[in-house]
Structure 1
Amino acid sequence: MWYLNDDLVDSSYHAENENQVINHISVPNIQRSQHRANLECRARNTVLISPVSKTVSIELNLRPLSVSILQRHSQLSTHTQYEITCESWGSHPPPTLLWFLEGQELKGVTTEESRSSNTSVSRLLFTPTPEFDGKRLICRASNPLLPGTAIEDFWQLRVVYSPILSLRLGSSINPNAIKFQDDVYYECVIRANPPAVKLTWYHNGENLKHTPTSGIIMSNQSLALQKVTRASAGIYVCSATNNEGEGRSNPVELKVMYAPTCRNDLSSAEGTPVIIAASRSEDVNITCEMDALPESLRFHWAHTNTVGEAVDLEPEIYTSQGSKSFLFYNLRSEEDFGTLLCWAQNSIGTAERPCIYQIVPAVDISNYKQYPNYGIKHSFSSSPQFPRHG
């Protein structure tokens, strides 16, 4: 006879022979409630002794009945690490619990089981990124032995984060062809949640102000620079803030191409000549240096003698390298004294003013002390040496 949890379910049997009796049982439409039920076969041939029996436990493969993501937050911050719990009930053997962000599986989860309640729990430890915002976090429970029985729960994430900025020059601007007096504009692309409440611009680390009279115009997320000069060159950065903090963009360098300018003019008054005291028959080496961008320059030298005659110098007596030209000048007569002019040209234009070098006889150097701004250079030779004057 067969008993299901001590309830008699089948008492029929037939004798195979005088020593063997058989009872076959079939349990149709087995139910989830019969999972782990005891099915017992008892046999007896007299009431005088206790029956003998064998018991089997019914083990069913069961699909998961529920799956739930617990501890849902109204919003998540990129500055915080979270532990999210997914709970599933009803599966046997225990389900496989997987986490997905939209269609991509997430790793780094821990799973634990509770046999007493037929419940399984998976915990996901993660720090959200801005890319998580608006996406669905999915917990999927499935019984690998029962294909097609997977169930899911999802949570639409709202992630708050400090501004993420990307700075770029206007799409119509070639960064390698910006010239003196050109107009330039920058675009600052901002991604933030909540929206950014303040936008700041920096030039070489200094805060820029909206100054239309100076050609600095700020509008929404753009910066316009009108009629740029050499002073406009440098590194530009945009910065924005919200409740989550501050974000800064990538630095973008502005290069302003300009025609050559004499380096001597950068340290003294424009057009001030450099006085070079030399003796007749002396070789004078003069370096002319220009400030320019691009720095690839073509140089030209000219000489005006003491009687006012002007002549171009032969290219054979000077060499050029980048932004410098080196003149090897030989003083042979009184007419070789006078003024040397150094000109330069690049792809942007020609220098407005040359570098000026006044060659004077060394014995007459005292006559030039009336010009306090002149930089006196002394050229050394076998003749008596004179000290340099600053």
Structure 2
Amino acid sequence: MSVTRAQQPLRTSVPAVPSRLAHPALLLTGILLVALNMRACLAAISPMVGEIQRGLGLSATASGLITTVPVLFQGVGAPLTPRLTRRFGTERVVLGAVLVLGAGVLLRVVPSVPALYAGCVVIGVAIAVLNVSMPGLVKREFPHRAAAMTGVYSTTMLVGATLAAGASVPLEHVLGGGWRASLGAWSLLALVAALAWLPQVLRSRQERAAVAAPEAPKAKPIAGLWRLPLAWQISLFMGVSSLMVYTLVAWLPTVLADHGMSRDEAGLVFAFSNLVQVAGAFLVPLLAGRMTRQRGLALTMAALNGAGIAVLLLAPVSGAWAAAAVLGVAQGGSLGLGLAFIVLRTSSAAGAAQLGGMTQAVGYLIAALGPVGAGALHQLTGGWTAVLAVLLVLAAVVAAAGWGAGRNTTL
């Protein structure tokens, strides 16, 4: 591991392709539409958990698995993605993942419990592929603006989550088909993203055909990545932060409803929290890219997470909107900062993809414990106090990991 300062990665030179498919606006549009899908199908289900639980006769623990299974398989699928991108190319892998994601959304609403969980598995694997592919793609296409572009696409991910969380219940009423019609409708967003991404697949084929000169040497992989403390610190920062996020994605509306808030208002609070995440996801990577160290940002995100959880513990209904605002900034900022660490702590697109594979694998395997663990703890204790207390302790773990991940060191 070497220490560098203000290191800028070099992009491999590729002959220009005289095609409209190479227009940057097409690439940006494709990235943004793909990013819209990466959280929407998960956030859409949160306001529906209670209805799904009652309709299928699921326990609280089994209901937690609806969110846990996709997160778990994000961790399982992440290490496989670098191999797929090397073999098939990033553009084709992204297109395939978006199509598979749409298929998983449809499978999840087939009227049977096995299909529900099978759809969750498919969704998790598809999101894993996108999670790992996108940082390397951004670093390759925008080598001198990687942190800023990370902020743009992480913000778009949260915009998709916000739209999904806020629209799920209204869609249920408009479509008249219950929770299945509402959740299934999000497959259309995946189809739109696939169509928008198709030009990038065609462009990549043209570029490969246009290459006449010998290719530049490929970047060497990061040696002994899984033994490097920095890689583990980034993984823990992302993993524990994501555990907190997915726990609240799964249960925040239920926590508020169990304390006396109406289901509709609880859904609005949850949607508002997702909306506020947009600000954190956009601004924090921009700030991170201007700093040689990001330790202060990491500690701030952890402190805000702890403050929001404390408000939910002390005043779950009267303080719900304030808690949602604070948690929104913290969770969006933590997501953006975690993704920024991947591009800031590596010197090449290949290195970013390799580190992304590790951090996503470790991170989402940790995060998968959150929803089901919270459901089991709630079932055991009969309330949400113990769950929120555990999340408060985990905010300190995020702070410690972020302190290490934020130092000015490049893998």
TM class by smaller structure: under 0.3
> Which of these two proteins has the greater Rg computed from alpha carbons?
1
More helix by share: 2
More strand by share: 1
